[in-house]
Chain A
């Protein structure tokens, strides 16, 4: 399969101010992201996840090692525009990434920079706004929208550039539950229907659980990498690095300490209910069998 992003032995340090030492973020980090996948990068505050995201479209350049985006070296200055065209970025604060004071003008900003012909921009803007469900708001002023709506406009602004990959850096951190749901639905839909690669950077377990693959980052190193089930069943590891598993997994883990024997794979209440029910029924059946023996 084609690699969307390929990080090879990345080293990066923020240069220190005056006489303070450089702040080392990564020493040797390698990571491959497949085209069309939905990957969540999970980590606590200050684990380097945002720094990593900024490497994906040449906002930051590696101090050592290489980052390739669809085979293009991000430090190659000639490829800069192409790299940024391939991977769109959505940031945490929706207010600070909306440029224009009309929704559709903002969505048009990216394609305009690419020098696309006017009628085609119009098409792309309309299509992008429909995809995120904000078409009715195309003539609104962004500052009157809710957080979730603003973030969807920001996503539309990125997909109007028709990227192959979208990197979202904590897109829901400043939103309420309703806004969070809106953004997650939009992102999941784009991945499923358009085959756009999604890299979601987050510290919300419930959101990471919706991805196909979860990469846990701690102090610049990958601590776990796998399907959500695989990653979230490592409850002790998550606790050690200041994270938590989804509530339902935490519950099963706690119950196992009390002599239950539950798999740690239930990421949502429905699954968990099934698992608990099966376990309790199993107990009852065994009791009955035991009873019949006598």
Chain B
């Protein structure tokens, strides 16, 4: 069976054929399985935003292909449009795209464009608002009267209401405090579980990505520099630092411990760290 999403030799050049030509993506290939949570890391200009916009057909590859369930998304116009709805895209600072008079109408914008009937739209709006923790009373309020964090959640609900099979988020937690960050991440996780959706999250925050993702893609200069389970990727700490990326503080701590002669493997979550250190103490206690 064909993988859920298959990206093959994807290359994208901006302003192709002019003196300003600039290769944003170069020969990128990977596949995604249904239900997977994949994290994408890379600093600004590494091509991750360009990659995102290819996956739901906003940008057309200069060369290479993208297939959803084995069908090329650029096969015909209808498929391309359908892809927009199957692959949901939450941009960075999505709260700046709100435009309707009420929260309800704004969330309904996507489903309406899908041509759904009123009852279905209503169900989806209410469901997705609840999924991001917005109370029913807020639906009649103007989105511009909400706090920054609430606006962000309305914007995310607007994409969730389209019930995408693949949900892509670009820095969904940017500019939020630790409590706000946790909240957004938990909503994303519950959506994944509720809809068996595939999630792709772009983030600068290595800690968050590592904790949530099954697999990581590290982008650098338009290419995939590293790809694999978080544990594998963080083994390449030196390379990550050279690419201008941060590695989680706990991973750094464990690399340091290893250098100091302790028998530990790199970790990236607190849970793993606690476990490893408890084991180490146990080992000592038994010595």
Contacts and interface: CB of A to CB of B under 8 A. Distances in A.
A248 B43 CA distance: 24
B235 interface: no
Given A45-B148, A146-B44, A254-B274, A246 B249 contact: yes
Contacts of A170: 175
B176 interface: yes
Give chain B's interface residue range (CB within 8 Å of chain A).
35 or more
B245 A177 contact: yes
Interface string B157-180: 000000000000000001111111
Nearest to B147: A46
Interface in B250-271: 250, 252-253, 256-257, 260, 262, 270
Contacts of A203: 177-178
Given A178-B244, A280-B280, A284-B284, A45 B43 contact: no
Contact of A250 (B252, B270, B277, B285): B270
Interface in B100-134: none
User: Which secondary structure characterizes the binding site on chain B?
Assistant: helix
A99 interface: no
Interface string A24-55: 00000000000000000001111000000000
A243 B177 contact: yes
Given A45-B176, A254-B270, A258-B278, A247 B147 contact: no
A14 interface: no
A213 to B, nearest CB: 20
B248 interface: yes
Interface string B18-53: 000000000000000000000000011100000000
Nearest to A179: B44
Give chain A's interface residue range (CB within 8 Å of chain B).
35 or more
Contacts of B262: 277, 280
Nearest to A148: B44
B44 A244 contact: no
A247 B175 CA distance: 18
Nearest to A266: B253
Contacts of B44: 146-147, 176, 178-179
B273 interface: yes
Q: For B149, B179, B278, which residue has the most chain A Cβ atoms within 10 angstroms?
A: B179
B204 interface: yes
Contacts of A92: 175
Contacts of B176: 45
A176 B219 CA distance: 14
Q: For B43, B244, B253, which residue has the most chain A Cβ atoms within 10 angstroms?
A: B253
B281 interface: yes
Contacts of B277: 255, 260, 276
A182 B232 CA distance: 28
- Considering the complex of A and B, which 9 residue pairs feature the smallest CB-CB distances, nearest first? A242-B179, A44-B177, A269-B253, A273-B256, A269-B252, A247-B249, A177-B246, A203-B177, A244-B178
26 contacts: A44-B177, A44-B179, A44-B180, A46-B147, A173-B175, A174-B174, A174-B175, A177-B245, A178-B43, A178-B244, A205-B178, A243-B178, A243-B179, A247-B248, A247-B249, A247-B250, A251-B273, A268-B249, A269-B256, A273-B260, A276-B257, A277-B260, A280-B262, A280-B281, A284-B287, A287-B285
Given A260-B281, A268-B249, 12 more contacts: A44-B177, A146-B45, A176-B43, A244-B178, A247-B207, A251-B253, A251-B274, A269-B250, A272-B253, A276-B253, A277-B257, A287-B284
